[in-house]
């Protein structure tokens, strides 16, 4: 019996007969809208096929004096809608036409009358499911809504054209990321979200602690069950003394073993009670302190711990063992920034390559960015067309340009000279330009958008503005760091050749005033079998901003976290 196939349910069998294998979803009894309308012929070649389709009504209207209704149904598989026609004899049309209603319908695909915008429509003869919506309270009507408004309805905003398109673009870029690195022999490594190392040395980290919750729990417990008083403690001690005396007296009187054993048991109970009373007497409300400072030895990890700002340091441990690796995951920064470019939780792609230098790093980063741009052109063109229509008419041309154009490469010193020339020529920047500054977004965008009109890689930055782990150059003033700057966004990638020399990196940690103890394990990578290696980090949301032309980073991540907001 075990090797016999289970026959399909009758209604699914009907679907299997009438549906082409390319239409039906592999794990659902419906045909995704994409499989119908995103064919080269717009779906016209499917006319006559019987299908089951589901989705949410974008817009609906009753026609023919209420005898039938047109529904534009979208299931998120593509930006296009499937036009559905339902007769009044099949279902209650007033419920179906409301924006936001969920429907699962079945019927025949037909070619619409000549002149219609769509190439195929579904004539419904069965309505299998209706998830109704109250139009008076539904917060996502069919009117045009601002992205800022939608941030107040995070749980429903994926039903809009923009956010669903961004979700598909984000998905495609994530897939492209894994494809690129897997094709080039990189190993995917999961680095920890909870860390005891501050990779950037900036200190803007979220702390991971149970001390506060434990203190609150203790405070509530002490209110319900107050700690013992001095009198309680003395009484417990007195009881132990009395029970001890009884044992001594019984032994002196040569009492029976049973009597002595029972008395010893009583003494043991009294001692255990005293121990509990003494322990509870030590309990004090508030965060535990030691020598006037918070006692992190009492914390969950017995030391301070944080949410990571980068997986780079940890992934280096694998690069120094298996050569080519990458990590891709969430990172966190407790920076009180309300700009359109910052989030408290964001995603980073961080590859690391052993036996490679700064030139190799730049080559890899450039190839990766080009790969992602071409991937979107190949896999998400319909979504990119929507972005071009709604937000940035040049976004598709920008992807084409970046995917096919060699990036400009200039040193930081050359970049500053170009910016200084621009200032002498009348260009005004909010932040003054001089050697040693950390280039601002306005400087980065001027280099890419006005001077070179393409992506620019700036390398060899002053050591004073870069992290301790970047390799010191022979001039002792600059480090082997590089940033990829792109139009629209500015810095997209930051990377470097890592400092592999033990004495030099030890000195750099000391220069920056960082404690040595948390980085002892990192120094071990230089003590034992050190190797030349490099890597970079790409801010994933910034890549989506660059690709789509959307202005605010809060609109390209499903659940944005920023100061004052952490919905859901």
Residue 9 clears pLDDT 60, i.e. is over it:
no
Instruction: Give the per-residue pLDDT at 115.
Output: 81
**pLDDT tens for residues 198-207?**
655 555 899 9
Instruction: Give the per-residue pLDDT at 385.
Output: 97
Residue 10 clears pLDDT 60, i.e. is over it:
no
Pick the residue with more confidence: 9 or 334?
334
> For residues 537 and 326, is the Cβ–Cβ distance under 8 A?
no
Across the range 3-27, mean pLDDT stands at: 51
Least confident of 114-123, 333-342, 440-449: 333-342
Q: What is the torsion angle, in degrees rounded to the nearest 10, for the CA atoms of residue 232, residue 235, residue 237 and residue 243?
A: -140
DSSP letter, residue 471: P
Which pLDDT band holds residue 529 (cuts at 50, 70, 90)?
Answer: very high
- Lookup result for tokens 């803007």: 204
Instruction: Give the per-residue pLDDT at 19.
Output: 42
Residue 558 clears pLDDT 80, i.e. is over it:
yes
**pLDDT tens for residues 40-98?**
999 999 999 999 999 999 999 999 889 999 999 999 999 999 999 999 999 999 999 99
Partnered with residue 126 across adjacent β-strands are: 106
Instruction: Give the per-residue pLDDT at 284.
Output: 82
Q: Say if pTM beats, i.e. exceeds, 0.85.
A: yes
Across the range 221-229, mean pLDDT stands at: 85
- CA–CA separation, 545 and 551 (whole Å): 7
Q: At what angle do helices 358-379 and 381-390 cross, to 10 degrees?
A: 90
Pick the residue with more confidence: 430 or 338?
430
> For residues 548 and 392, is the Cβ–Cβ distance under 8 A?
yes
Instruction: Give the per-residue pLDDT at 530.
Output: 97
DSSP letter, residue 439: P
Across the range 239-249, mean pLDDT stands at: 89
Pick the residue with more confidence: 129 or 117?
129
Which pLDDT band holds residue 17 (cuts at 50, 70, 90)?
Answer: very low
Residue 224 clears pLDDT 70, i.e. is over it:
yes
Percent of the chain whose predicted confidence (pLDDT) is above 90:
72
98 is written with which tokens? Answer: 């409301």
> For residues 327 and 538, is the Cβ–Cβ distance under 8 A?
no
Instruction: Give the per-residue pLDDT at 200.
Output: 54
């Amino acid at each position: 019996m075990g090797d016999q196939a289970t026959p399909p349910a009758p209604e699914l069998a009907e679907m299997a007969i009438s549906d082409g294998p390319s239409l039906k979803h592999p794990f659902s009894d419906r045909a995704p809208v994409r499989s119908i309308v995103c064919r080269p012929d717009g779906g016209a070649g499917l006319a006559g096929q019987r299908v089951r389709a589901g989705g949410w009504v974008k817009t609906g209207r009753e026609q023919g004096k209420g005898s039938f209704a047109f529904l534009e149904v979208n299931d998120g598989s593509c930006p296009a809608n499937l036009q559905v026609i339902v007769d009044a004899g099949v279902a209650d049309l007033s419920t179906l036409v409301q924006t936001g209603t969920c429907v699962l319908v079945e019927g025949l695909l037909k070619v619409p009358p000549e002149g219609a915008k769509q190439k195929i429509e579904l004539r419904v003869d069965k309505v299998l499911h209706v998830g109704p919506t109250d139009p008076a309270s539904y917060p996502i009507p069919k009117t045009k809504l601002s992205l800022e408004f939608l941030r107040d309805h995070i749980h429903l905003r994926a039903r809009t054209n923009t956010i669903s398109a961004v979700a598909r673009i984000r998905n495609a870029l994530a897939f492209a990321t894994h494809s690129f690195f897997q094709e080039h022999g990189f190993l995917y490594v999961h680095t920890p979200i909870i860390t005891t190392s501050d990779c950037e040395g900036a200190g803007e980290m979220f702390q991971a602690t149970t001390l506060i919750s434990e203190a609150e729990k203790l405070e509530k417990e002490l209110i319900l069950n107050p700690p013992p008083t001095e009198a309680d403690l003395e009484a417990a001690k007195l009881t132990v003394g009395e029970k001890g005396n009884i044992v001594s007296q019984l032994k002196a009187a040569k009492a029976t073993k049973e009597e002595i054993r029972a008395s010893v048991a009583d003494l043991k109970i009294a001692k255990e009670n005293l121990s509990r009373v003494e322990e509870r007497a030590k309990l004090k409300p508030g965060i535990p302190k030691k020598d006037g400072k918070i006692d992190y030895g009492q914390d969950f990890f017995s030391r301070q711990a944080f949410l990571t700002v980068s997986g780079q340091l940890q992934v280096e441990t694998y690069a120094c063992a298996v050569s080519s690796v990458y990590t891709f995951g969430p990172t966190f920064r407790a920076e009180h920034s309300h700009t359109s470019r910052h989030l408290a939780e964001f995603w980073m792609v961080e590859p690391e390559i052993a036996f490679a230098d700064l030139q190799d790093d730049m080559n890899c980063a450039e190839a990766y960015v080009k790969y992602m741009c071409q991937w979107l052109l190949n896999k998400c063109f319909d979504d990119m067309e929507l972005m071009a229509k709604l937000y940035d008419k040049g976004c598709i041309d920008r992807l084409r340009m970046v995917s096919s154009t060699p990036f400009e490469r200039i040193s930081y010193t050359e970049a500053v000279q170009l910016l200084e020339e621009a200032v002498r020529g009348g260009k005004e920047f909010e932040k003054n330009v001089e050697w040693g500054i950390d280039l601002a977004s306005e400087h980065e965008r001027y280099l890419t958008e006005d001077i070179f009109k393409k992506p620019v890689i700036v390398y060899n930055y002053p050591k004073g503005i870069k992290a301790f782990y970047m390799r010191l150059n022979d001039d002792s003033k600059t480090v082997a760091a590089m940033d990829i700057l792109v139009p629209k966004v500015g810095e997209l990638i930051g990377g470097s050749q890592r400092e592999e020399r033990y004495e030099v990196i030890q000195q750099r940690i000391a220069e920056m005033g960082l404690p040595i103890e948390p980085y002892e394990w990192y120094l071990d990578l230089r003590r034992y079998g050190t190797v030349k290696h490099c890597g970079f980090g790409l801010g994933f949301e910034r890549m989506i901003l660059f690709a789509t032309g959307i202005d605010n980073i809060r609109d390209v991540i499903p659940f944005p976290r920023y100061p004052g907001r952490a919905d859901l």
